[in-house]
Structure formats: structure tokens, C-alpha cells
Structure 1
Amino acid sequence: MKKRNKYFEEYYQKIRNDISFITLKKNATIKFKDKEYITGKELPVPIRVEKLLEDIKKQDEIDGLTLNNLIDGIIYLMGTDRSFEYLVDYKEMFKKLSFEIVPYIIYCINNSNNSKDNLVYAKALINNEENEKSCFIYASALENMGIEFHEKGNEVSRYYFEEALEYFEKCLEYNDKFPLAYYKLGYYYKRNQQYVKAELIWSKHQELDDDTIRVEEIRNELIQLKPYVDYEKGYNLVLNEKPEEALDLLLPLVKDFSGWWNLLFFIGLAYRSMGEYSIAERYFENVLKINNVQKDALNELGLCKICLGKYVEAAELFSKLLSLDPGNCEIFCNRAVAYLYNEQVDRAKEDIETALKINPEDPVALSIKEELKKYE
């Protein structure tokens, strides 16, 4: 079970355990407007407010219990225990009373500032019927709880945001023309640095939403998103061994984003894959001016130094990297190569021995070991 799933299971179980019950006697009457419901058997009903429970226990009859008292407890139970055996009886009661529970829950959510209550109420909507609207309401309630926890510095906020994202996505499974889901999802994908996905989602939103304020808001977001979309497309081209195409997208971004080390790193990577080691060297050095402990940049710069014949500088870079990541087999191999090319065979052998202790099956280390045998 995922930690997030376990967290919410325990969260709702704790709330469920805090719910108390009283029993309506057989033939007890509940009234709503001109309707009434008469219990055909003893019926346990949930009560959430302890003070109310104490007051009711002092009475001989159930007349002091209002429908609102019942509804509050029932909704909490619906939200925390969807398999409770008497839920079917409660739904029958609402039917007899012509009481629409779903609009009432939505009304309560819209008129409450209590995020915890709203979360359980929204979960009750989901447990009653899962559709695009109930998913959206629940996702929004999760998001609000996540914001509260985030503002308090509580790391569980990530569970709420992850769960919210899942339910915003579920909205589109039920209705792929639901504009509010597209509106929200774009922000989530943007925060998760999924810029291309955010652009696609927001572009769809522009086609569907008839709210001019939201449409204008997202239009501006799309304009601001464009360089990040180019960045994501560019680095994917680098990773897919298309460096020339990548540079067409990435290089124009440097003017406005010269302090963005991620951008400079992938430009450097593109040039290194093209064999332009001197240019790549400059970009990786600029990355380290921004973030002097960026491990990938240290490694890539070291490889460029080897290709440029700067073996001492390469070894120094790999040594710095090993101080940050002392158990990295790959870096020991890289430093061994730098030592070997600099004719420091004994040091190269030591590094390969260390690398093979870390990973006896590492093919690169084994290959270098074979090469070193030529120097015995």
C-alpha cells in the first residue's frame, strides 16, 4: 500500500472512530416540513457533537434530536465508512422525507470555512456517487487542506496535493469536456514541471470554458509558460540524441534565463554529445558558478576535461564529486580514466579496485581493469 493511501485510510478511520451513536427506538418519528419518517426497527444514528450526545442522553424521548443533528452525523459517516450497514436505511429516510442530501452537502461546503469538515463532506459526495462534479469538489477540498498543511510547514501536504491531482484527473475520465478540471490541472502540471502537459491541458481549457475571466487568466499563463515548454521539449531532444534540434529550442532561452542552471546544463550536454567539448565545458562551468555542488555538472565537466586532455583538472573534479557522493562506482571509474591518461597508473588501479568493491559486476570497471593489465 502506498504511504499516501495508508495515510488517508488511517485519517478517515480516526474520524470514523470519533463518531458516537444513539439508537432511535422502533416507531420513532423524524419530521421534515410536511413529511415524516417512522422507523420500522431500532436504528443506530451517528452523532458527531459530544455535547449534543450528552444532552440527548438526559432526555427520555428522542424528540430533542433535530434532523440537522442527524444529517451532520450521517454525512460524516458517509464520508468515512461507505460500507456502514445502516447507510441504506438513512438513504431510505431521506427519500421518505423528500430530502435531497447531495445539494445539502454542497450547500454546507459552500458555506463553511472549516477545511476538515469540508473534506469529509466532499468525501461523502464521492462515496455517494463518483462523477466529474463530485470528483472536482473532493479534489478542491483536498487542495484546501493541502494548502493549510503547507502553510504550517507540514510535509503531509504533499499527500493532499497528490490526491487532489488524482481526482482532478478523474474528472476528465467521467467528462472530457469539463473545463474546470482542465483549468486546475494546468496549474498542477506546471508546478510538477510538466510544462508540455500543462500547455496541452490549458489549450484544451481555452476551447471549452465560457468564463471570460478564467479564459484570459489561462491565456496569460500560456504566454508565460512558452519558454518552459521549449525547455522541456529541448531537454527531451537532448536525451533522445537529437542535440542540434534541441539547441534550436534551448539557445534562444539563454538571453532571459541565463541564471537557470538546468537550462545551461542541457545545452552543455547537447554540445558534449556533438563533440563540442570546449563549448560544453563553458556551459558546465557556468552551471557550477550557479550551483557549485551540482553533481551531474561536476561529472559532465570532468568528462569534457578528459576529452580536452585536461586530466589533472578532471581528476580534481571527480575527487570533489566523490566527496559529495563517496559510494559512486561510476565516478571512481571516471577518475581512474583521468589518472590513467595522466600516467598515474597506481592511482587508477586503486580507484578501479574501489569501484569493483562497490559493484563487482560493473562492466565499465571490469573493462578498465583489463586495460590496466597492459601496464603491469
Structure 2
Amino acid sequence: MSYENELKALRKKHLENIPFLTLKKDAVLKTADLIFQLEDALDVPVLLEDLLEDVKQDVGTDVLRVENILKAMCFMIGLDPDFIYRNRYENILRTLKPKTDAYLIYLINQYSEQPDYALIFSLALVEFERSARNLFILANSLENVSIALTKDDQKEKAVFYFEESIKMYHKSAKADQQFSLPLYKLGFYYKQVGQFIRAKDYWERFIASDQDNLRIQEVREELEMLEMLVDYEVGSSFVLNGDIDRGLDKLLPLVPYYPTWWNLLFVIGLAFRQNGDFQIASDYFKNVLRLKPDQIDSINELALCYISMSKYQEAKDVLDAAVALTSDSEVLANRAVANFYLEQYKSALWDINQSLKLNPDDQIAQTIKKEIEIAIAE
């Protein structure tokens, strides 16, 4: 599935519930102060619920009916941009609703409690004008559909709409660099997914271009809290690229502020292990496992620390518990190493064979197996 497939299904569902009425040549459509006369007969849509309400109230062809027709024309353009009568509908809408964008935004707000309707009107809005503001409104409607689907426990579908909303926020930001609202949204998004440097960049650009003092103050407060998270991202990058000392300089000052943030403790443990400080590293990995007992990467790293300190039984005990939790090729390979040093060669061979079944191309595991087979042969 994909967003495109979900949108296609949504459009199809609503298209099946759009009745059409035929207006004859010279029929007049009028709002409170504007008139449009048809030069030819035209099939016009009405939302089914509006048609039923009109029939129930016996409204006739007065202003209310015309308003319902105009609304449904917008709906149709959102549902099917290639509809045969699109140009004629647009002509009518621009005549009877000269501020067409404002009218569509009114409809989007009117249907805020029905996110799929609001989305369809937002799609129509972008068809009329692909501006930064309209792309932002579309992005917001997509996000609202995602929220509604999440509440309805349709999380897989929700992800498609949410990812599309982020794309639209980006397009909105690119369409007009002085339009600040997508920058506000993207800052929160990148903070949520742990890309703190990008979040900081978007929020700093937001402050430089926004005029709302309350929003600016909110983002300034977020930026103050974000500084340490940026240090975490920078420090983690240093560690992963082998610049251990610079990484620890960024990461260690964060521990008093985030003593239960297991990701932080894990990266610090990784840094100390790479530096050969196995005892200190093992303490950090133990702390991670107190917070998150099933964190497999930390189990593997702790076992590697024990093996490096020649504490083979401790390594095996840790990995025994991990095998009970998961069939992970790296866990099995590390337990094979622990069993090898404990001279439990048959157990080591079984472990490494199981590891290679899960990951046949693991060259390290293949090397371990050769060492075990040599030991058994002797």
C-alpha cells in the first residue's frame, strides 16, 4: 500500500456517493448578490447528505440549494481534478465566489470534524492555486487525517498520510521562504524523530521570518531545551565516526540532565568500549538494561565488554538471557565466542551454525566457525 493507493480508494469511495442534477440551458445560479446563467445544459453535483436534507426540507432551487451545488463542485474538483466539467465548474465558482481560495478555506474549516472531507476540499484548494499557504493547508489536512486514523487504530494507513503531510510541509516551505508556518511544523517533526540539528535549523529560520510573538516565544523556549539534544546528536555522530574524545566531551555533560535516557547511555557506553575502557562501558550498558531489559544491542555490547575483560561466563550468562528473548544472529555469534573461550566447543559450534542460518553472509561468523572447527579437530 501507499499514500497514492489510499487516496485513490478515498476518492473512489466518495465519488460513488455524489449524485448529479441536470440544469437546463439558461438556468440561473445565484447567490445573495451574484448571478451566473448557463449557456448550455450542465450536470452539477450535490453531496448526498445535502441533497437528502434539501429534499427533506423541500427547499426548492433557492440560495441554499445553489450553495450546496457550489460546495459540491469544489468537492468534485478535489476528488477528480480531470473531471470533464472541471473548467465549467471553475468558471462558475470564480464568478459566484470571486474569493475562491477564501471560500474553500471556509469549507475546510466547516468540515474540520470530518478530516477526509477537509482533505478533499484542501486538494481542491491546491488545484486552484499551488501557493505556499495552500500547500501548508493541504499538509495540515493530511496530518489531521493521520491523527484520526491513529485514533481509529488504523496506524498503517495513518503513516501514509503523515509521511505525505511532511512532504507537503517541505513543499510549502520551498514555495515561499518567507512563509513561516511550515518551518514551525517541521521543527516539531524533526525534534520528534530525533533529528535535533534539523529541528534547530527550521526553528531558527521560523523565528527569523514569523511575526507572531506568542509562537516566537514558544519556539525560543523549545530551542533552549533543544540545545542539549543537539549536543547529543553531534556527540553521537562523533562517536559513530570514531572521534571518541570529542564525542564524550559533548555527551557526558548531558547525563545529569537525562539520567534515564537509554539512547544517551548506550552511545556513551559504545564510546568507552571503543576506547578500550571496558569496565566503564559495561557499567553504562548495565544501566541501559536496567531501563530497557530487552535492548538487544546493549546486551551484545555488554557481552563484548565481558569477553574483552576475559569474563567469559558473565558474557555467556548475559547472552543466555538474550537468546531467550530473541533469535538474533549477533547474539548467537557472541555466545559462540563465549562458549569457545569456555572450551565448550560443541555448544559454540551449535550457536555459530544457528547464527549462520540467520545470516549466512556474515564473514565474522564464518571466521568464528573456522576457529571453532580447528579447536574441535585438535
TM, length-normalised to structure 2: 0.91
Q: Bigger shift: 271-280 or 48-57?
A: 48-57
Q: Is the 8 A contact 1:31 1:37 kept in 2?
A: yes
Q: What residue number does 1:99 align with? A: 98
Distance change >3 Å, CA 26–CA 196, structure 1 → 2: same
Q: Is the 8 A contact 2:45 2:69 kept in 1?
A: yes
The alignment status of 1:195 with 2:212, answered yes or no, reads no
Q: Residues 127-206 of structure 1: matches in 2 within 5 Å?
A: 127-155=127-155, 156-206=157-207
Q: What residue number does 2:219 align with? A: 218
CA distance, structure 2, for counterparts of residue 98 and residue 111 of structure 1:
16
Q: What residue number does 2:324 align with? A: 323
| Structure 1 residue 96 displacement after superposition | 4.4
Q: Residues 71-86 of structure 1: matches in 2 within 5 Å?
A: 71-86=70-85
The runs of 5 or more residues in structure 1 that have no matched partner are: none
Distance change >3 Å, CA 337–CA 54, structure 1 → 2: closer
Distance change >3 Å, CA 368–CA 114, structure 1 → 2: closer
Q: Residues 51-130 of structure 1: matches in 2 within 5 Å?
A: 52=51, 66-97=65-96, 99-111=98-110, 113-116=112-115, 117-130=117-130
Q: Deviations over 1:6-33 (max 9, x none)?
A: 2222122212221111111122222245
Q: What residue number does 1:302 align with? A: 303
Distance change >3 Å, CA 352–CA 114, structure 1 → 2: closer
CA distance, structure 1, for counterparts of residue 308 and residue 319 of structure 2:
14
| Structure 1 residue 342 displacement after superposition | 1.7
* Residue identity opposite 2:45 in structure 1: P
Q: Deviations over 1:196-253 (max 9, x none)?
A: 1101110111111121111111000101111211111111221111111111111001
CA distance, structure 2, for counterparts of residue 340 and residue 10 of structure 1:
57
Distance change >3 Å, CA 41–CA 291, structure 1 → 2: same
CA distance, structure 2, for counterparts of residue 291 and residue 65 of structure 1:
60
| Structure 1 residue 372 displacement after superposition | 2.5
Partner-residue secondary structure (3-state), 1:201: helix
Q: Is the 8 A contact 1:56 1:65 kept in 2?
A: no
Partner-residue secondary structure (3-state), 1:66: helix
Q: Bigger shift: 198-207 or 118-127?
A: 118-127
Q: What residue number does 1:240 align with? A: 241
Q: Bigger shift: 38-47 or 195-204?
A: 38-47
Q: Is the 8 A contact 1:146 1:157 kept in 2?
A: yes
Seq. identity, % = 37
CA distance, structure 2, for counterparts of residue 140 and residue 356 of structure 1:
47
* Residue identity opposite 2:306 in structure 1: K
* Residue identity opposite 1:91 in structure 2: E
Q: Is the 8 A contact 1:123 1:138 kept in 2?
A: yes
Q: What residue number does 2:358 align with? A: 358
The runs of 5 or more residues in structure 2 that have no matched partner are: none
CA distance, structure 2, for counterparts of residue 268 and residue 64 of structure 1:
71
Q: Bigger shift: 70-79 or 104-113?
A: 104-113
Q: Deviations over 1:335-373 (max 9, x none)?
A: 111111122222222222323333444312221222224
CA distance, structure 2, for counterparts of residue 323 and residue 183 of structure 1:
45
The alignment status of 1:227 with 2:231, answered yes or no, reads no
Partner-residue secondary structure (3-state), 2:260: coil
Q: CA RMSD in A?
A: 2.4
Distance change >3 Å, CA 115–CA 364, structure 1 → 2: same
